[in-house]
Amino acid sequence: MNLPISLFIALRYWRAKNTDRFGRLVTNLASIGIVLGVTALIIVLSVMNGLEKHQKQQVLSAIPHSVIMPTSGAVSLSDPLPSLPDFVQKAVPVNITGVIFQTPNGVSAGQVIGIRDFSDDLLLQEFDPAKFSQILPSGEFKLIIGSQLALKLQLQIGDKVRLMITENSQYTPFGRVPVQRLFTVSDIYFSGTEVSGYEAFANLSDIGRLMRIRPEQAQGYRLFLTDPFQITDLPTFFSAEKWTIDDWRTQKGEFFQAVRMEKNMMGLLISLIIIVAVSNIITSLSLMVVDKQGEIAILQTQGLTKSQVRRIFILQGFLVGVVGTLIGASAGVLITLNLNEIIGVLNPQGIFLPTDINIMQIASVIGFSLLLSLLSTIYPAYRAAKIEPAEALRYE
């Protein structure tokens, strides 16, 4: 197979064993550094993606993704749903408010969600839909509370708990006091998330009465999104003049912002490994240019142009980057796919790390590494092309 002359010579130099030992050591260190940097970057980004996805599933699935409310008045239950974007899976009428739970055993802040059916919330999927009218009948002010909240307030099924709605208040001779009502605990739901420590459910109309909303109306619509992070697209579909949007970012926005910032910082820090490794390519190529001055001069006298000389060293340095990047990417993906098995061998205490391999991220890491490898060859290649045969061969 006939190769271009620049690629042929670059391959010969790259595979040569009799070159300067120090230059060969620096080249090997560059390759190892790129392998380690790319591997570590892919593993860390995949783990951070997995943690973010796990938290999204565990945390955001248990709280309302978004609640849209009219800027004035309430929505009528008899009216059809507003036009919804494709990424909204479901919309249900909802009354939702912050409350204070008060019992003889303590006080706790939380929120109550008014529902019309158990399917209106993922936390209540285990309940029999046919028993909704028995567990949360309209007008009887019954409540389903979380297991952690029941433990905190020492509540059992059948116990009474006072709900005080701080958002609404009424004037009395003693001043302004919050709306309050005694509710009966009709059931307890169990969840492994922190939501069960503050969230409770009641009949839609019962909560509506406390919020001064008519039985045939609701505060707004609760939206279930395909991806909770698409919440930023909602304002383009619901005019700010007609709708007020309240979403999960008011409760968990700072947490996910911190996770994303941590992922970006970890990626930046590990990228420095690749940058340091790529700088070794500049060193090794510069040493080779000095070592091969005579050969370069002879090649030029035999007809090799300066652009071909530049390509020799560009291709040689790029080969180091390509090999290191491909090995690092393969090792990173392989380790990520078997990360929990590896952790199980090193630490058999049952630690689980969720991972999520993002093809676009891996492509970006590979592209970043190859681009730096290519840029690192420009200066040594430029120096090699400046060699004049007469000067280089004067003392040969």
CA–CA–CA angle 99, 103, 107 (5° rounding):
55
What phi, psi does 165 have (nearest 5°)?
A: -95, 105
Task: Provide the token pair at 254.
Answer: 């700072």
The residue among 138 and 349 whose pLDDT is bigger is 138
52-92, pLDDT tens digit by residue? 888 777 777 777 888 888 888 888 888 888 888 888 888 88
Task: Provide the token pair at 137.
Answer: 């009948």
Highest mean predicted confidence (pLDDT) among 44-48, 245-249, 377-381: 44-48
- How many residues are given for the chain? 396
pLDDT at 172 over 70: no
- Lowest-confidence segment of 204-208, 296-300, 319-323 by average pLDDT: 296-300
Mean pLDDT over 191-203 rounds to 86
Distance CA 265, CA 261 (A): 6
Distance CA 127, CA 73 (A): 32
Which DSSP string corresponds to 238-304? S-TTTEEEEETHHHHHHHHHHHHHHHHHHHHHHHHHHHHHHHHHHHHHHHHHHHTHHHHHHHHHTT-
Distance CA 133, CA 206 (A): 13
- pLDDT at res. 2: 57
- Lowest-confidence segment of 237-241, 243-247, 290-294 by average pLDDT: 290-294
Distance CA 138, CA 124 (A): 18
Q: What share of the chain has pLDDT > 90, as a percent?
A: 17
The confidence band for 25, taking pLDDT boundaries of 50, 70 and 90, is: confident
Mean pLDDT over 160-166 rounds to 87
- pLDDT at res. 363: 92
pLDDT at 42 over 80: yes
Q: What pTM, to 2 d.p., does this model score?
A: 0.71
The confidence band for 173, taking pLDDT boundaries of 50, 70 and 90, is: low
The confidence band for 395, taking pLDDT boundaries of 50, 70 and 90, is: low
Q: Which of 221, 246, 250 is nearest to 90 (CA)?
A: 221
* 3-state SS track over 148-179: HHHHHHCCCCCCEEEEEEEEEEEEECCEEEEE
Distance CA 355, CA 344 (A): 15
The confidence band for 39, taking pLDDT boundaries of 50, 70 and 90, is: very high
The mean pLDDT of the chain is 83
CA–CA–CA angle 71, 119, 182 (5° rounding):
70
- pLDDT at res. 249: 81
Which DSSP string corresponds to 319-371? HHHHHHHHHHHHHHHHHHHTHHHHHHHH-TTT--------HHHHHHHHHHHHH
Task: Provide the token pair at 130.
Answer: 């046919």
- pLDDT at res. 65: 84
CA 157 to chain centre: 39
Q: How far is CA 285 from CA 14, 175, 282, 289, 306, in A?
A: 10, 83, 5, 6, 16
Do residues 93 and 204 lie in contact, with contact meaning Cβ atoms separated by under 8 Å?
Answer: yes
Mean pLDDT over 201-208 rounds to 91
Which DSSP string corresponds to 271-282? HHHHHHHHHHHH
333-365, pLDDT tens digit by residue? 999 988 888 877 777 666 777 888 889 989 999
- pLDDT at res. 71: 85
The confidence band for 327, taking pLDDT boundaries of 50, 70 and 90, is: very high
Distance CA 136, CA 134 (A): 6
